[in-house]
Structure 1
Amino acid sequence: MPLLEISVTPVGTDSTSFSSDVTNAVRKIKEKGLKYQLTPTATVVEGDIDQLWEVARDMHQEAISSEVQRVITNISIDHRTDKQMDMNHQVDTVRQSLE
């Protein structure tokens, strides 16, 4: 299943904090029932490719609608077609290699 790593950064706000923006973005993921993993600097979402594009758009639009002057959205998609993968498998593979 494809993985989307996304970070949405509002620019031009009155505060350097944007945890409420992250909370609103994660709500968009939860509304769609997608599996996700929050990290300190981005969020990884698992789903089919159409779901991932849709949630990325929704997260970006959510940030724009909060009346910020600028939003920077960075996305990375890992879409493997030769075999099945998911977030847990990716992490487990690295953890096993470290043992």
Structure 2
Amino acid sequence: MSVIVELSLFPMDKGQSVAAHVARAVGVIRQSGLPHQLTPMGTCIEGEWDEVMAVVDACFKAVAADSERVYLTVKADWRKGRSAGLTGKTASVERVLAGEGGA
């Protein structure tokens, strides 16, 4: 797997609580079968570029289906030959914090 994408999206026309709309997008991500991690401010997805971007597109369409305006941010970290980046990147930082070194 070579890309980790952090996706954050929500409708801007549905009031203060948008959990149901966000859950719709997270459901799309879960159905994709790709490794992912839900966070309070977004969801990280890992996989090959084309398959991850297809999931991002499907998430957008799921939220936009009944919205007039959608806020969307996408950050991507592509690295050739990487695998298990979702866990590896954070584990590396935790090792450094524990004084074990690492990079």
TM superposition score normalised by structure 1: 0.91
Determine whether 1:55 maps to 2:55.
Answer: yes
Could you tell me which amino acid in structure 2 is paired with residue 39 of structure 1? T
Aligned identity (percent) is 27
The alignment partner of 1:8 has SS state of strand
Q: Establish whether residue 10 from structure 1 lines up as the match of residue 20 from structure 2.
A: no
Gaps of 5+ in 1: none
Residue 21 of structure 1 is matched in structure 2 by 21
CA shift at 1:49, angstroms? 0.5
Which runs of at least 4 in structure 1 moved beyond 3 Å after TM superposition? none
Q: Does 1:39 align with 2:39?
A: yes
Q: Output aligned runs, 1:81-96, within 5 Å.
A: 81=80, 83-85=81-83, 86-96=85-95
Matches of 1:42 and 1:11 in 2, distance apart? 15
TM score, norm. by length of structure 2: 0.87
Question: How many angstroms does 1:95 deviate by?
Answer: 0.6
CA-to-aligned-CA distance 1:54-73 (integer Å, 9 cap, x gap) = 000000000111x2220011
The total of aligned residue pairs comes to 96
Please tell me the residue identity of whatever aligns with 1:4: V
Distance (whole Å) between structure 2 residues aligned to residue 30 and residue 38 of structure 1:
10
Shift of 1:16: 0.3
Unpaired runs of at least 5, structure 2: 99-103
